[in-house]
Structure 1
Amino acid sequence: MPTPPTDVANLYNILGAGELSRLDTHPVELLVTLRTINEALPLTPQRIADVGGGPGKYAFALADQGHLVDLVDLSPGLIQLAQIEQDKRKAAGKENLLQSLSVGNVLDPTILQHGIYDAVLLLGPLYHLVEDSERVTAVANAARLAKPNGVLFVAFISIAAHLRDIAMREPERLITDKEFYAKYLQDGRYEKFKPGIGNVHGFHTQVGNVKFFFTDNFAGTMELMELRSQEGILGGNLDTALSKSQPQVLQAWADLMYEKYSTGEEHLGCADHLIAVLKKRS
């Protein structure tokens, strides 16, 4: 059954404030991801589409670097938060603004103009598309936005991340929800009703399946350049204490994670989030 977009939008309309601050408490994820993007792009200003970019944490960071960024998200609430930040920047007379902000669905091929972007970020939408066909459509739509030889950044949540989370918070769920988890470990579908939130539709993956996803569906149109852990070996909330560190200390840890502990096969399983870097074939 296709993922109801209204359920996903409602989820993030409710979780908006937390989504705005999440990367402040996971600073290694933020810095490793930004470095991954920067290392794959030229130093000159690039035109970037951030699809599913929420309140614009990455979009504004990239705009601060001089890039021209269009932000799209399914949640009106998150786009409203991004608009508040945009308005603050305008009022302060800053030039590092987003080019556009809009509500849109990655499954809609008309959300942005095709073939004009040097880079396309897809750092959230695949977390909530439970059907494989939807994930294929989302990546295909993102690829259409990119120029020939453009770069795509596509993120996934690891099944190991959720297991670590319930082991720390509610370990009994592995027994009380035994049937649910037997299925979840097979297909990565996390579909539940949560009081106060509503229907939650999530997709989590085994690390080894990410490469197969791209080779099975996009071998002729895109080249997988790298697969990287966005937290290095500090998944499972191990980077939260660093949010209170001095900037130079935090940067040293982020650099260590990026350079030594984020691409090896033995390190990918430590990730909560995985980022695939792809190049669109000309």
Structure 2
Amino acid sequence: MIDLIERYYDLSSANEWDRLARHRTEWAITLRALREHLPPPPARVLDCGGGPGRYAIELAKHGYSVTLFDLSRALLSFARTQAHAANATLAGYEHGTATDLSRFADDSFDAILFMGPLYHLIDPDDRGAALREARRVLKPGGMLAAAFISQYAGLRFLLKEDPEFLIRSPERVAGFWQTESFPPARTDGAEFIAHFIPPTEVRPLIESAGFDVRAVLGVEGLASMIDDKLNALEGDAWNAWVSLNYCAAFDPSLHGACEHLLCIAHTPPA
């Protein structure tokens, strides 16, 4: 399973970098949440599963000491190129899986970003192992920012892009309720394997690993899959919608209609 995910990202470096440029609200709301909850620079941050380095590079530009850790060597190489182009220096580039952070000592980081691992670890035991590792390498009071794909995201995507899939491949539709190979078919041997989580399960999962949950956000706000006109805005109009969507992002009644969820949590203080 891990090999399939690694291959998917090895073949998708530029697309992963561009994805957050296409989904501006997700990027803006996530950054606002990070800026509100991260300790001040030069705090040490582990961007675990950070892919092409979008968040790692942005934080490094603002004075954070960021180590980028990812499953895909191709994405790590791509991130080096992007960091150089942005005149940003990362503390390190490490290859591995989120279930094994043994190269890092206990209490090593002030914050950890989990912007991908928890929705690519299909086995619940692996998700638990990754969260235990995150808690181990975080300092007391350290911050975790963990991303999830919500339960209905796959089905909503199909409704928008390929509604006939429902009758063309009914045997696979059931998988989109929680776990599925996505997109439905590729010819290059790579698959997007993801766990789609019910929003009500996010907080219990994080708390089960000993974290104190501070917030759960739907990072598309009101704009999930209806953001074409929104993305064309600039200036005051764009900023006004970012502020409105940020306020809406905390409303649990909206979370099931969002594609991605973000959980902000902390380890217990010393």
Q: Please give the range of the TM-score, normalised by the shorter of the 2 chains.
A: over 0.9
CA distance in 2, matches of 1:111, 1:235: 38
Structure 2 portions without partners, runs of 5+: none
Specify which of 52, 55, 65 is matched with residue 52 of structure 2. Answer: 55
| 1:268 pairs with 2:265 | no
Letter paired with 2:179: R
CA deviation vs aligned residue, 1:196-247 (integer Å, no higher than 9, x gap): 24344211111112123234x22xx2111111011111112x2344333224
Q: Rate the CA distance shift 1:199–1:24 in 2: closer, same or farther, 3 A.
A: closer
Shift of residue 132, structure 1, vs aligned partner? 0.7
1:182 Cα offset (Å): 2.8
Change (3 A) 1:213 1:61: same
The 1-side partners of 2:229 and 2:73 are apart by 31
Q: Contact between 2:143 and 2:265, CA under 8 Å: does it hold in 1?
A: yes
Higher mean alpha-carbon deviation, 39-48 vs 136-145, is at: 39-48
**1:166-190 deviation digits (Å, cap 9, x = unpaired):** 01111122223223223542xx111
State the one-letter code of the partner of 1:26.
H
Q: What residue is the counterpart of 1:121 in the other structure? A: 113
> Residue 255 of structure 1: which of 239, 243, 246 is its match?
243
Match of 1:104 among 96, 101, 117: 96
Q: Does 1:43 align with 2:40?
A: yes
- Percent identity of the aligned residues? 29
Give the 3-state SS of the residue equivalent to 1:98 in structure 2.
coil
> Aligned partners of 1:119, 1:59: CA distance in 2, in Å?
12
Does the residue aligned with 1:253 lie in a helix, a strand or coil?
helix
Which residue pairs with 1:172 in the alignment? 164
Between the aligned partners of 2:200 and 2:26, the Cα distance in structure 1 is 20
Q: Does structure 2 retain, via aligned residues, the 8 Å contact 1:25–1:240?
A: no
The 3-state SS of whatever aligns with 2:148 is: strand
- Greater shift after overlay, 59-68 or 169-178? 169-178
Partner residue in 1 for 2:211:
222
Distance 1:111 1:202, change over 3 A: farther
Alignment partner, residue 230 of structure 2 = 242
Paired residues, what number? Answer: 267
RMSD (Å) for aligned C-alpha atoms: 1.8
Q: TM-score, normalised by structure 2?
A: 0.92
Matched, 1:233 2:222: yes
Normalising by structure 1, report the TM-score: 0.88
Cα pair 1:104 1:111 within 8 Å, conserved: no
Q: Please tell me whether the aligned partners of residues 27 and 240 of structure 1 are also in contact (alpha carbons under 8 angstroms).
A: no
Pair 104,247 (structure 1): closer, same or farther in 2 beyond 3 Å: farther
Cα offset, 1:41, TM superposition: 2.3
Is the 8 Å Cα contact of residues 161 and 235 (structure 1) preserved in structure 2? Answer: no
Shift of 1:74: 0.5
